Structure 1
Amino acid sequence: MKSISIIILMLTLLSCNKRQDRIQIIEDKNLNQKQIDSILDEYHFEYSRVVFIDSLEKVILPISTQNASGGSRYTSKSYYADSYPNYWNLIFYDVKTGKTKLLTKKKTRISDFTTNFKNVGPILKKSVLYRAGDTDYNLDKKLTYLDPEQLFISDIDGNKLLRLSPVDENLIEYEIVPNTDKIIFRTLRDSNRDKKFDEKDDKVWYLIDLSTASKAIEILNQEKRKEIENLYFKQWLVKNDKQ
């Protein structure tokens, strides 16, 4: 318990720092370690909260970063808060063994994560779900809020990270079917392939059953949606003399 108290104290002190609005991009790639260290000295690495997983033996520490001094001579000042993720990684800490593990070594924007699920199946009971994105979908060489988020899952040790929703669709919401390992989620599909996600695109519902290790299936596929749209056309848009 002493180690947990120390972690909480450290997190409290770190989260008291005022968060800045922007993150800089390093323009000079040919830096030595001393120059890299001088840049990193300008940043506060925040472990913003402690999330216990079902017991006191496993802990998640979300990592965010803030710039303390407003940049350095190596950085570009044109990369603002729209590029700043809620979390850029998570640490999984085993209190009993003292081992730590990063969720991923791939550049990733993590908006949120959820664990300690109640009234779910055995797989989700031992899982973590994430809203995250790791793909520069619009090819602007940045990873920002303009790129889509997907639904990800891992086990409670941070292993077996897996994408559940399509990489080229933006996650809107998800719900767990009670007492099962099934998830219903909705995405925004880039229907017109313009590399943007807006009101012109289709909203698509999916169901995935984790217990069958199968891919997500569309609840309403293109054929079914067309059938529904045609029914609407006949009932509401075509003049009916009997009405």
Structure 2
Amino acid sequence: MNRNPSRSERGYDRLAGWYWLLEQPVFRRDLQRAREACLVDLPPMKRILMLGDGDGRLLQKVLMTQPQAKVVSVEQSSEMIALQKRRAASVDASHRVEWIQGDAITVPLQTGSFDCLVAAFFLDCFTEVELSHCLPGWLSCVANDGFFYHVDFVIPENGWRRMRAKFWSWIMHRFFRWQTGLQSASVVPVEPLLDSKVWAERSRRELNHGFIRSVLYQRRSSQLC
């Protein structure tokens, strides 16, 4: 069947080959450092769900650090998936990855079926209303004692770091709105959407003057909804 790609998919298809270069002027290697920052804190996994990994640099690292894991990668852009497949092949791990091309909002996922959910620079693409609606469903895919690995931009509380972060956040959201039709206008804090009775923070790293944060959470036993 002929598909009619969405504006978002077409936009990320255009940007796929240039994604790494777009990061360089402001962040240098900080975004990739953040993607990888807490991987060392993950125990051996069997099944990992990755949402919106883009060009596959994190996927490649996950496959290297979790040699026994099977990975399901949900990504809407066919060009991004092509890059992911090349990176998986470069570490001889294509057989351990299932690719699903589609919108993560509508892709059906089984409750409690993954040891870890990875969302790196993905949740910032959604509005607060969208996250409030979608995040519980994504998190429900994580089994008891499983992990949620969240990497994203944050706005520091005060001072010049806050002003700097708000400026670059404004620039980035408007760029991606122009290119992909992104509806989100600012970074939405994720922590208030996580129930502290369900999710316990296990490790945290901050980079780029507090503008980037990597956090590994673990679902407490017997707290699967």
TM-score of the aligned structures, taking structure 1 as reference length: 0.24
Point out the structure with the larger strand share: 1
Question: Who wins on radius of gyration, i.e. which is larger?
Answer: 1
**Bigger fraction of residues in helix:** 2
Higher RCO (CA < 8 A, seq sep 6+): 2
